[in-house]
Amino acid sequence: MQSPAAQSPAAPPAYEPLRPGDPALIGGYRVLARLRGGRAYLATTQSGRRLAITRLPSRLADDAALRDRLRARITAARRVRGPYLTAVFDGHADETGAWAATDHVPGPTLERAVAETGPLPVAAVRTLVAALAAAIRAVHDAGLAHGGLAAHTVHLTEDGPRVSALGWAGAGAEPVPSGDVLLLGGVAHFAATGRSPFRDGTHDLTGCPDELRGLVGRCLADDPDDRPGPGAVLTAAGGAPPAPGWLPPDVAALLPAYLAEPPSRPVASGGERRRPVVLPPDAPPPAWQGPMPGAAGRGPAAPVTLPDAPRPAR
């Protein structure tokens, strides 16, 4: 039987057109499209660097303590560098809203890849786990815990998986390093089976391949002291970096959609042409747009578009 990707003439689009009410700018960055399947937008800097901007839950903007924790987290995460980590480019949190911008990763989330093509083979899961363990170790070496490892936050690319260095976004309990290993075990089980192992406060390894069961089980140990550290997970998973072709062909077939140009903005009613308008650096936003959190003091804002004025009748 052919795989879902092999049956399709083309991979599903990675981007969705912007909808009425979507912002033209977030933090001064021009919004291009929605990233399919999430709250994130594809955006760009004036120099053309592509970003993924996530608008965080509104409750973060309503709670001063959470805003403070989020700002501190963004500041700390921007200093974290390591293999398989997506750099945090910018972010902001105040009464008007909260958002975080990372470099855009041109690949599907693990969640989407499994939904489109099915569970990954054992060899690919081992590569995935080793790379994510290396990413977590870099976060821990910076004095942080990640707290945000999940199938919907891990992206798959030709040269390995990627996960944002931001991780935990300030809501809920502060993460701890041993919790990251627990989450890594959950990601590994999902990648291999298409199901979460977490059930009613415990875990269920039904369907986990025998070759992975021991490592996944240790990561999911109830006692945090019984879980291996990221370095031990990396070694147990094989430790080798992703080799060319590490992704199954069905998953690799999804990648070109993430390199495609995003859909154009909808044309204004009446079919008027649009012209670029560059906002000066500290100008207040136009009334049609609303506040631009964090835009002041960052240099000229990216161009936005407005309808051309109607031509006078002849």
Domain with CATH 1.10.510.10 in the chain: 110-258
Provide block-wise average pLDDT over 10 residues at a time, the chain (314 residues). 46 88 93 84 95 83 84 92 93 88 95 96 98 97 95 96 87 88 98 95 94 98 97 95 96 94 67 36 31 34 34 38
Report the CATH number of the 110-258 domain.
1.10.510.10
pLDDT at 273: 39
Q: Which residues of 57-71 are buried (b: 16+ CB within 10 A; e: fewer)?
A: eeebbebeebbebbb
110/3 Cα distance (integer angstroms): 17
Q: How far apart are CA 256 and CA 13, in angstroms?
A: 9
* Residues 135, 141: Cα–Cα separation, whole Å: 10
**Per-residue DSSP letters for 116-128?**
HH-SPPHHHHHHH
CA distance 222 to 256: 40
pTM of the shown model: 0.80
pLDDT at 200: 86
Q: Check residue 10 and give its pLDDT.
A: 63
Query: What local confidence, expressed as pLDDT, does residue 173 receive?
Result: 81
Beta carbons of 203 and 220 less than 8 angstroms apart? yes
Superfamily of domain 8-105+260-307: Phosphorylase Kinase; domain 1 (3.30.200.20)
User: CA-CA distance, 270 to 151, in Å (whole number)?
Assistant: 42
At 63 the pLDDT is: 83
The tens digit of pLDDT for each residue in 112-150 reads: 999 999 999 999 999 999 999 999 999 999 999 999 999
Contacts of 146 (CB under 8 A, 6+ apart): 135, 136, 139, 163, 167, 168, 175, 180, 183
Per-residue pLDDT at 37: 64
Position 171 scores a pLDDT of: 66
Domain span(s) for CATH 3.30.200.20 in the chain: 8-105+260-307
Question: Which has the closest alpha carbon to 54: 84, 99, 17?
Answer: 99
